[in-house]
């Protein structure tokens, strides 16, 4: 065990895997200086600086993955996947199916996601629902350094394409780079347990976190709150507050959206009969609707509420914070279900 | 074509610079959030090109947009109010400084690198059908020219014979990467190969930029197809405010630089990984990038375009001091009005 920040945990998992597996190469814009330790250790042959040509380098990475390499691709932000979506949607994600399972595309896409630091609506999206809607992709979003290490480690041994999203609010390095810029005058509502914590390392128990396994972060009997990433921490805070009012919440950290741990969600819903989805992604056509469908398909009809992002994120800080799932919104949604 | 005298160009450059410096002060006070990319160093490009635009021309800008907006005449107070996140800002406080737009001025910015080219191509297409003689203009960085949609626009604009001017602002950098190190060939030659008309200008010389822009725009307005203006200039304040590359390379013995160095050194000697030569090559490259950042033109240096213009106006007997004072007063008053009613929580 070692104390690491969220970002360090991902870096470390990549570094450990690169030391084990010479087929891993890392590419992305600015990676020599963004990941200087990897660049210094593995050299320019394995840490490749890319031009601002996401469609080309993500597409090339998918091709390289077909031909024996295991590329890790970094995007500056998940918002920019828009310019390179074809490589994921029509290629990396389709290969296993088109080859009837014979050919796989072991590609890891790492991208910071999410808002909460006032960067505006083109730079604060999560988009995990859109990505997780694609068969053939694995989409994981850790909420703690331990899971960040564990899910990255699993991804780097996985046979198919994986998208690993890194919530910027949890990742001190990104937040400093994009949000604070050395200023003491700027503050962010960072959940401490998500930003820094003990991490099991290679060889230790818990060093790899399996895909499709949710974690129950708090047990409860009245309301099930399903979330991921920053939302988990907001939900835990809300659960604490609701607990004081006599409402017992179970908080499930999904961790992995595709595959989704339906069993854990359904088992909780059987107990509580109430579901609140806390999702930093867009409300319509996404995770929250998906979880409602999961309940219905399990022949359950829980009382249901969702706390999501409802529109393009506004730049103005106060308004952004109000638009993001926050403790007050979660508490009022859960309380309404108890009424 | 209307040209502007050197003094007027200098005034526009001064306005753009003073605006950026005001923005920096607001940013440092924590009143502006997000990645704040200053356009310091680009003033001659903004003044030289944007003074040549007419009403009805469409302008597509990037994440580094304010100098061009200031010169275009977008009102300063609403622009500042937007950056301050106020609901009476230019875009209702919803867009912020990377996504500013003004329908009235037919100008819009985007933080998606490369997106200004197809957007301006669309402005050009609309101009062709709706506003004869008008053009679409894109500002784009040197890094942006490698974006897929930018390269595709090189082709599209010829296929559709669009009245499009792309102004490539070549500051040598794409964040921490030397743009040239990941760019094949020469940008102007690239566009020429697609059949574009290309001109090159030195971004330290505002009159040179203006002349080149004015000639290219005249061609575009006459329906002679797209044109590229490739201008070199410095990146004075790093990629954005608080840029750690700039910070660390200017303060090599500071704690941040030492921390980075410590991490790099311990990784460089870890067992497993590249050979000694490769590792050494990486170190040399990193040090080289830092040295480049360290040598970058600073405010008021010999190669600061504002200083170059200042001296040129002075030599020509222009009233530099009067212009400077007027510009300063204009911006100070805009900032004061923009801050009205905002609770400032300074320590
Ligand atoms: C599609 C996309 N990829 C990556 C980024 C991250 N990014 C923001 S600015 C920048 C560098 C742009 O370089 P250049 O075009 O030369 O403009 P400059 O910043 O030098 O003015 C990058 C990579 C982005 N905003 N959009
Ligand atoms: Mg550049």
- Domain containing residue A227: CATH number: 3.40.50.920
Q: Stretch B138-157: mean pLDDT, rounded?
A: 98
Pairing of strands B136-141, A108-113: unpaired
Q: Are B51 and B42 in contact (CB under 8 A)?
A: no
The answer to whether B264 contacts A40, with C-beta atoms less than 8 Å apart, is: yes
C-alpha span between B116 and B63 (Å, rounded): 10
Mutate which of A316, A319, A321 to disrupt the B interface (most B C-beta within 10 Å)? A316
Alpha helices by DSSP H, listed for B51-179, are 66-72, 76-83, 116-130, 148-159
In a shared domain, residues A229 and A184: no
Residues, CB-to-ion distance under 5 Å, ligand 2: B 141-143, 171, 173
| A268 falls within a domain | yes
B123 φ, ψ to 5°? -60, -40
pLDDT in tens, B227-267: 999 999 999 999 999 999 999 999 988 988 898 889 899 99
C-alpha span between A23 and B185 (Å, rounded): 30
In a shared domain, residues A221 and A192: no
The answer to whether B146 contacts A54, with C-beta atoms less than 8 Å apart, is: no
Lowest mean pLDDT among A143-152, B257-266, B308-317: B257-266
C-alpha span between A76 and A119 (Å, rounded): 13
| A9 falls within a domain | yes
* Residue A187 pLDDT > 60: yes
| A210 falls within a domain | no
pLDDT in tens, A86-125: 999 999 999 999 999 999 999 999 999 999 999 999 999 9
Q: Are A313 and A115 in contact (CB under 8 A)?
A: yes
- Which chain A residues contact residue B182 at CB under 8 A? 49-51
Q: Give the single-character DSSP code of B96.
A: -
Beta bridge partners of B108: B60, B101
Count of H-run helices and E-run strands, chain A: 15, 14
The whole-number pLDDT of residue B346 equals 60
For A269, the 3-state DSSP assignment is helix
- Evaluate the omega torsion of the peptide bond into residue B112 and state whether it is cis, within 30 degrees of 0: no
Q: Are B87 and B167 in contact (CB under 8 A)?
A: no
Q: Stretch A194-201: mean pLDDT, rounded?
A: 96
Question: Measured between CB atoms, which of A41, A183, A316 is closest to B270?
Answer: A41
| A207 falls within a domain | no
Structure confidence at residue B343 as a pLDDT band (50, 70, 90): confident
C-alpha span between B100 and B67 (Å, rounded): 12
Q: Are B289 and B25 in contact (CB under 8 A)?
A: no
The whole-number pLDDT of residue B3 equals 62
Q: Which of B277, B341, B347 is nearest to B81 (CA)?
A: B341
Query: Which of A166, A199, A232 is the C-terminal boundary of a domain?
Result: A199
Question: Which CATH number belongs to the domain containing residue A63 in this structure?
Answer: 3.40.50.970
C-alpha span between B337 and B12 (Å, rounded): 21
C-alpha span between B15 and B328 (Å, rounded): 8
The whole-number pLDDT of residue B2 equals 53
In a shared domain, residues A127 and A256: no
| A187 falls within a domain | yes
In angstroms, what separates the C-alpha of B239 from chain A's closest C-alpha? 11
Q: What ipTM does this complex have? A: 0.97
In a shared domain, residues A141 and A166: yes
C-alpha span between B14 and B343 (Å, rounded): 29
The answer to whether A315 contacts B267, with C-beta atoms less than 8 Å apart, is: no
Question: Measured between CB atoms, which of B176, B242, B278 is closest to A43?
Answer: B278
In a shared domain, residues A334 and A221: yes
| A237 falls within a domain | yes
The whole-number pLDDT of residue A203 equals 86
pLDDT in tens, B40-56: 999 999 999 999 999 99
Q: Which of the residues of A are catalytic?
A: 123
C-alpha span between B244 and A18 (Å, rounded): 26
- Which chain A residues contact residue B285 at CB under 8 A? 32, 39, 44
Specify the number of domains making up chain A: 2
In a shared domain, residues A192 and A228: no
Cα of B142 from ligand 1 centre, angstroms: 9
In a shared domain, residues A17 and A157: yes
In a shared domain, residues A224 and A324: yes
In a shared domain, residues A161 and A285: no
* Residue A327 pLDDT > 90: yes
- Please state the atom number of ligand 1 nearest to the C-alpha of residue B179: 16
Q: Pick the ligand that lies closest to the CA of residue A112.
A: 1
Structure confidence at residue A277 as a pLDDT band (50, 70, 90): very high
Structure confidence at residue A14 as a pLDDT band (50, 70, 90): very high
* Sequence-ordered list of residues with C-beta below 8 angstroms from that of B338, at least 6 positions apart, any chain: B76, B77, B80, B81, B84
pLDDT in tens, B188-229: 999 999 999 999 999 999 999 999 999 999 999 999 999 999
The whole-number pLDDT of residue B345 equals 64
pTM: 0.97
Q: Indicate the Cα dihedral angle B63, B69, B72, B76, nearest 10°.
A: 170
In a shared domain, residues A167 and A41: yes
* Residue B324 pLDDT > 70: yes
Q: Are A62 and A91 in contact (CB under 8 A)?
A: yes
In a shared domain, residues A124 and A152: yes
* Sequence-ordered list of residues with C-beta below 8 angstroms from that of B55, at least 6 positions apart, any chain: none
* Residue A202 pLDDT > 90: no
Query: Which of A175, A199, A223 is the C-terminal boundary of a domain?
Result: A199
C-alpha span between A80 and A30 (Å, rounded): 15
Q: What is the mean pLDDT of chain A?
A: 97
Query: Which of A199, A224, A254 is the C-terminal boundary of a domain?
Result: A199
pLDDT in tens, B59-73: 999 999 999 999 999
Closest residue of chain B to A29, computed from CA coordinates: B177
| A206 falls within a domain | no
In a shared domain, residues A51 and A192: yes
Q: What is the mean pLDDT of chain B?
A: 96
Sign of the dihedral defined by the CA atoms of residues A276, A280, A281, A283, in that order: positive
- Percent of chain B with pLDDT strictly greater than 90: 94
C-alpha span between B154 and B226 (Å, rounded): 9
The answer to whether A178 contacts B34, with C-beta atoms less than 8 Å apart, is: yes
Domain housing A49? 2-199
Cα of A132 from ligand 1 centre, angstroms: 27
- Helix B6-28 to helix B305-315 angle (10° resolution) is 140
| A71 falls within a domain | yes
- Measure the N-to-C terminal CA separation of chain B; round to a whole number of Å: 52
Q: Stretch A259-287: mean pLDDT, rounded?
A: 98
Q: Stretch B114-126: mean pLDDT, rounded?
A: 98
The answer to whether B33 contacts A15, with C-beta atoms less than 8 Å apart, is: no
Sign of the dihedral defined by the CA atoms of residues A268, A270, A274, A277, in that order: positive
The whole-number pLDDT of residue B1 equals 43
């Amino acid at each position: 065990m070692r104390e690491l920040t969220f970002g360090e945990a991902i870096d470390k998992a990549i570094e450990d895997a690169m030391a084990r597996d010479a087929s891993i190469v890392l590419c992305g814009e600015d990676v020599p200086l963004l990941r200087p330790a990897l660049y210094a250790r593995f050299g320019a042959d394995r840490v490749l600086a890319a031009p601002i040509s996401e469609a080309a380098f993500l597409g090339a990475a998918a091709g390289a993955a077909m031909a024996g390499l295991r590329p890790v691709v970094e995007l500056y932000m998940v918002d920019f996947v828009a310019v390179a979506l074809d490589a994921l949607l029509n290629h990396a994600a389709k290969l296993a199916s088109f080859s009837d399972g014979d050919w796989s595309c072991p590609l890891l896409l790492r991208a910071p996601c999410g808002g909460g630091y006032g960067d505006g609506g083109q730079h604060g999206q999560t988009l995990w629902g859109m990505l997780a809607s694609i068969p053939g992709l694995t989409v994981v979003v850790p909420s703690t350094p331990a899971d960040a290490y564990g899910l990255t480690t699993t991804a780097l041994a996985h046979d198919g394409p994986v998208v690993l999203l890194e919530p910027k609010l949890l990742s001190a390095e990104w937040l400093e780079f994009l949000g604070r810029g050395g200023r003491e005058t700027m503050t962010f509502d960072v959940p401490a347990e998500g930003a820094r914590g003990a991490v099991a390392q290679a060889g230790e128990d818990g060093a790899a976190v399996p895909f499709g396994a949710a974690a129950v972060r708090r047990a409860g009997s009245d309301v099930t709150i399903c979330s991921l990433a920053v939302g988990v921490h907001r939900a835990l805070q809300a659960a604490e507050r609701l607990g004081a009012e006599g409402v017992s919440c179970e908080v499930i950290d999904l961790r992995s959206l595709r595959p989704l741990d339906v069993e854990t969600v359904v088992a909780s819903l059987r107990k509580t009969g109430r579901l609140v989805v806390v999702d930093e992604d867009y409300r319509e056509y996404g995770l929250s609707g998906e979880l409602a469908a999961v309940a219905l398909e399990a022949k359950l009809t829980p009382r249901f509420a969702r706390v999501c992002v409802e529109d393009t994120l506004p730049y103005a800080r106060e308004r952004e914070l109000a638009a993001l799932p926050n403790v007050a919104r979660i508490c009022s949604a859960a309380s309404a279900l108890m009424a | 074509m209307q040209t502007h005298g050197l003094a007027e160009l200098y005034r526009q450059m001064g306005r753009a610079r003073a605006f950026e410096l005001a923005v920096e002060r607001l940013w440092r006070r924590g009143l502006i959030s997000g990645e704040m990319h200053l356009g310091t160093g680009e003033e001659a490009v903004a003044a030289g090109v944007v003074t040549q635009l007419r009403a009805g021309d469409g302008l597509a800008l990037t994440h580094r947009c304010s100098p061009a907006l200031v010169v275009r005449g977008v009102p300063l107070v609403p622009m500042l109010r937007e950056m301050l996140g106020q609901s009476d800002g230019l875009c209702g406080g919803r867009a912020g400084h990377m996504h500013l737009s003004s329908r009235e001025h037919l100008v819009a910015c985007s933080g998606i690198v490369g997106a200004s080219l197809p957007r301006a191509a669309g402005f050009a297409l609309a101009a062709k059908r709706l506003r004869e003689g008008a053009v679409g203009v894109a500002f784009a960085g040197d890094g942006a020219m490698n974006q897929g949609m930018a390269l595709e626009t090189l082709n599209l604009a010829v296929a559709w014979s669009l009245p499009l001017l792309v102004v490539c602002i070549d500051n040598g950098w794409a964040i921490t990467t030397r743009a040239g190190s990941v760019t094949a060939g020469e940008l102007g030659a690239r566009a020429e190969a697609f059949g574009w008309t290309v001109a090159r200008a030195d971004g330290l010389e505002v009159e040179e930029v203006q002349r080149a822009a004015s000639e290219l725009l005249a061609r575009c307005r006459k329906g002679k197809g797209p044109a590229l203006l490739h201008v070199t200039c410095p990146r004075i304040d790093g990629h954005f405010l608080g840029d750690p590359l700039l910070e660390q390379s200017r303060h090599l013995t500071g704690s941040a630089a030492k921390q980075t160095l410590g991490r790099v050194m311990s990784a460089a000697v870890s067992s497993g990984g590249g050979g000694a030569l490769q590792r050494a090559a990486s170190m040399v490259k990193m040090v080289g990038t830092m040295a480049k950042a360290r040598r970058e033109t600073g405010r008021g240096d010999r190669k600061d375009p504002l200083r170059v213009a200042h001296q040129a106006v002075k030599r020509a007997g222009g009233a530099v001091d009067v212009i400077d004072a007027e510009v300063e007063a204009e911006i100070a008053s805009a900032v004061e009005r923009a801050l009205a009613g905002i609770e400032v929580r300074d320590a």
